[in-house]
Amino acid sequence: MSLHDQDDPALRAAQEERLRAVWEPPKGLFLRWTDTNNNAVGVWYVLTAFVFMLFAGVLALIMRTQLAVPENDLVDPGTFNQLFTLHGSVMMFLFAVPMFEAVSIILLPQLLGARDLPFPRLSAFGYWSFLIGGVFVSGSIFFDVAPDGGWFMYPPLTTRTDLSGLGADIWMLGLSFIEVSSVAAAVELIVGVLKCRPPGMRLNLMPMYAWYILVVAVMILFAFPPLIAGDVLFEMERLLDWPFFDASRGGDPLLWQHLFWIFGHPEVYIVFLPSIALFAMLVPTFARRHLLGYPWIVLAAVGTAFLSFGLWVHHMFATGLPKISLAFFSAASEAVAIPTAVQIFVFIATLWAGRVVWSTPLLYATGSLAIFVIGGLTGVMVAVAPFDWQAHDTYFIVAHLHYVLIGGTLMPLFAGLYYYWPLITGKKLSDRLGRTAFWLIFVGANLCFFPMHLSGLEGMPRRVFTYPEAMGIGGLNMASTIGSYVIALGVAIIVIDLCLSPRRAKAARNPWQAGTLEWLAHPQDESWGIRSIPLIESRYPIWDQEDFVRKVDEGRFFLPDAEEGRRETIITSVLDARPVSVIRLGEPSWKPMLTALALGGVFILTTYHFYWAALACGVLTIAMAVWWLWTGTAEIPEKPCKPIGHGIELPLYISGSASPGWWAIFITMMADATAFSGLVFGYYFFWTRHEDFPPQAMADGPGLLWPMAALALAVVSWLCTIAAREMNSGARVGFARLLVALGIVASLAAVVAGLAGPWLSGMDPTLHSYPAIVWTLAIWTAAHAGVAAIMQGYVLARSLAGRMTPRHDADIRNVSVYMHFFALTAAVTALTLGLFPLLA
């Protein structure tokens, strides 16, 4: 492919003016609420997550002040329980994960040379869900109804309404809402990395940051859904008295621990790997050379992610597990240190082989690695079961956790903040203030958390609001408290530095002299992101490709114009980044915010037992989602193709596996299937824990007839949809519509048949865990049948309205993906509920 020059200044000026008109964000704060540009959404995301971090830090200071001296009475035990529960919950759910997603939403389009990620409205929806849920959970402490059962919320303390009040419902339903935003962001990031890379950027040329974000987003798909499944069981016990965790009625509290820690331990790496991704970007810049060992660090990142899902049981060593389980999970917990060490040594080797330019971002990076390594070494210690039995639930674990999180999340984010602030705002932060803050945070972290190792070994349990003077650990706790205030002073200096930033002069373009695509951004901060989408031949194109920046700026690559006045970017193939199509992105809209508000109403109103109002909000959410999809997706363009430059024309409409929408529904259903597997795991977990599961009095279960009937109807619905897709593709539109209509009938009938089994069998879900888990699986599958009917109805309406044709068939192809997963869900449910009791 030859690159020709476009030397007409008037042509370039006209192209730039059209791009500016399309991408200029709305003026004024109020109008920006409608914005769906990922850069604007990402900035709001970052600011909100940062505020939540400061809020959680204040809670931590109150706790440390309470523990500074023995037998202190600054706060009462109930308030202290609320403080440590909210501190952990906010830091993990409202800061660490959302912050990495926010930074990625800002950086990925620029790193990938794209105008935006493929679903900017989905990012906006995720932000509003995060904000509403975060305010709901965090604000509860001001009304003395904050959750008080720890960020892990172990039953039965938290599921018994006489032992825990409204706070447990606020935590569970509020954070379930936030988990929706996390999964939405993961879908956006995965599709963005796979489908929005610039031409030529094969997988082996991707920036390391993109690799890490891809790995972490996939981890979210498999880590968060088990917690969502656990949330479902948890709330059904609290709201409906279904005994999933009540041992007196066949439940088991350990089921919650399994579902929680299958999420909880991978989450440590979900927040750690994006920090390593920031190192992977700034270390080569300040080493002035390419990153060494690119294939090895990619494999190490994938290996870390894989192993992280085999470690959750090391949080449960004290629960009386079989010795074989202890040995396996202990070995796995130690093995994860190997790929982690590979990544750290790659950075050290790159610095060793390069010509290091010391800077404030690099100072934070090296300091954070030092702190993280200490946390990693204590992690290897607690991976040994006999040691864990002694240290479990002591302040030794608190020290280990905070060394890992401060060294693996907080300080790396500050490194990224100082590194990328010129990219986001065009202004550099102060080196003097930044280095002062670094040393305060570094010294404060060690002063605060290192003594906790000793106080823990001396026997101080975690989550206690005071301790007797006779323990002799008052000095250690005072040192920890002083250290916490030193950390707070360092963070305060960073906040001051950020506030002073707008007064400073514009920084030079690419002030660090980096080699990756994001630094094509111009200090004048043009709103379109990148002037033309480049052809990539290197991992560091600014360093390696001749006149690269000039050619991009002059529009000499691809898609340098916005002739039709639409926001557009290029879609490429997954493996080798061949140009496939031009996608038109969503315009600024209120729909994401309104949809998030409606969905938030479902969770919030359910918390206060306003079930009819919550149901109304659920119906409104579905209506909003349909309106959003109807007006904002699968638009039939005014022409089939669009020239992107250099004699290349790309289609404006694609469907099937080449399209971003197909990938989005596939990824979403992977998360859905993982949540469903968590519920199925619950069923078989009970079977392994109880000799009489199902109990003899309930051995017949829901019977065989109705589960098999529900399965047959689900298969009919699935086959009708697949056949309709093929009929529509063959221009037999009438037959396709008839088949879709039959599919709707079959889906609705599957709802009835799926619920009829446990209903007609008289299974009371409050009596025992068996009928409770049977009803849960039946309701889950029936709900999916209902969603299938809605989707099929949507497809039929689109066809009747002329918005879906044999050529433009993305709607039915995307719904077909859902139907595959629905049929699989129905099969697993039928076999589990209908056949398994007969075999068992």
| pLDDT, tens digit (0-9, with 9 covering 90-100), for 233-243 | 999 999 999 99
C-beta of residue 66 within 8 angstroms of C-beta of residue 75: yes
Alpha-carbon gap, residue 791 to 815, rounded angstroms: 7
Instruction: Report how far residue 825's alpha carbon sits from residue 835's, in angstroms, rounded to the nearest whole number.
Output: 15
Q: How confident is the model at residue 587 (pLDDT cuts 50, 70, 90)?
A: confident
Cα(394)–Cα(402) distance, rounded to whole angstroms? 13
Confidence at residue 424, expressed as pLDDT on a 0 to 100 scale: 86
Q: What is the pLDDT of residue 3?
A: 44
pLDDT at 11 over 60: yes
* Percentage above 70 pLDDT, the chain: 96
Please determine, for residue 322, whether its predicted confidence score (pLDDT) is greater than 90.
no
Which helix (H) or strand (E) segment holds residue 716: the answer is helix 705-729
Instruction: Give kind and range of the element (H or E) at residue 68.
Output: none
pLDDT value, residue 17: 77
More confident residue, 555 or 256: 256
pLDDT of 765 > 90? The answer is: yes
CA 81 – CA 463 distance, rounded (Å): 7
CA angle (634, 640, 644) in 5-degree steps: 100
**How many CB atoms are closer than 10 A to CB 74?**
15
pLDDT at 35: 54
- The whole-number average pLDDT for the span 431-445 is 97
The whole-number pLDDT of residue 227 equals 94
Exposed/middle/buried for residue 656 (C-beta within 10 Å: 0-12, 13-18, 19+): middle
* Predicted pLDDT at 37: 65
**Of 599, 630, 596, nearest in space to 616 by CA:** 599
Cα–Cα distance between 425 and 202 in angstroms, integer?
Answer: 30
The arithmetic mean of pLDDT across residues 649-653, rounded, is 94
- The identity of residue 662, as a single letter, is W
Q: Read off the pLDDT of residues 602-638 as tens digits, 9 standing for 90 and up.
A: 999 999 999 999 999 999 999 999 999 998 888 899 9
CA 341 to chain centre: 25
- Residues 332 and 315: their CA atoms lie apart, in Å, by 13
- 660-689 and 253-287 helices cross at what angle (nearest 10)? 140
Structure tokens at 109: 């389009």
For every residue of 312-336, which 3-state class applies, written as one string?
HHHHHHHHCCCHHHHHHHHHHHHHC
Count of Cβ atoms closer than 10 Å to residue 696 Cβ: 6
| Exposure class string for 186-221: b at 16+ Cβ within 10 A, else e | bbbbbbbbbbbbbbbbebebbbbbbbbbbbbbbbbb
User: Exposed (0-12), middle (13-18) or buried (19+): which is 124, by Cβ within 10 Å?
Assistant: buried
Which is it for the CA torsion 392, 385, 244, 596, positive or negative? positive
pLDDT in tens, 25-43: 554 433 345 555 667 788 8
Q: Could you write out the three-class secondary structure of 756-774?
A: HHHHHCCCCCCCCHHHHHH
pLDDT at residue 177 in the model: 87
Ramachandran bin of 409, using left for φ above 0, alpha for ψ from -120 to 50, beta for the remaining angles = alpha
Q: Which residue has the higher pLDDT, 299 or 837?
A: 299
How would residue 9 be classed by pLDDT, with cut points 50, 70 and 90? confident
In DSSP notation, 556-604 reads: -SB----TTS--EEEEE-TTT--EEEEEEPPPP-SHHHHHHHHHHHHHH
List pLDDT tens digits, range 508-532.
889 999 999 999 887 665 666 788 8
pLDDT at position 524? 62
pTM: 0.94
SS3 content of the chain, % helix, strand, coil (to 5): 70, 5, 25
Q: What is the pLDDT of residue 23?
A: 67
Give the pLDDT score at 697: 81
Judge whether 212 and 276 are in contact, CB under 8 Å. Answer: yes
The winner for highest mean pLDDT among 97-101, 508-512, 667-671, 686-690 is 667-671
How much is the mean pLDDT over the chain? 92
Contact (CB, 8 A) for 442 and 367: yes
Report whether 42 contacts 583 (CB < 8 A): no
Average pLDDT rounded to a whole number, residues 265-269: 91
DSSP result, 797-823: HHHHTTSS-SS--HHHHHHHHHHHHHH
Amino acid letter for position 728: N
Angle of the 38-66 helix axis to the 474-500 helix axis, nearest 10: 150
CA separation for the pair 47, 90 (Å, rounded): 15
Burial of residue 546 (number of CB atoms within 10 Å: 0-12, 13-18, 19+): exposed
Q: Residue 402: pLDDT band by 50, 70, 90 thresholds? A: very high
User: Please, are residues 807 and 637 in contact by the beta-carbon 8 Å criterion?
Assistant: no
Convert the pLDDT of each residue in 121-147 to its tens digit.
999 999 999 999 999 999 999 999 999
Asked whether residue 196 carries a pLDDT value surpassing 70, the answer given is: yes
* Across 154-169, average pLDDT: 89
Helices (H), 241-353: 253-287, 294-308, 323-335, 337-353
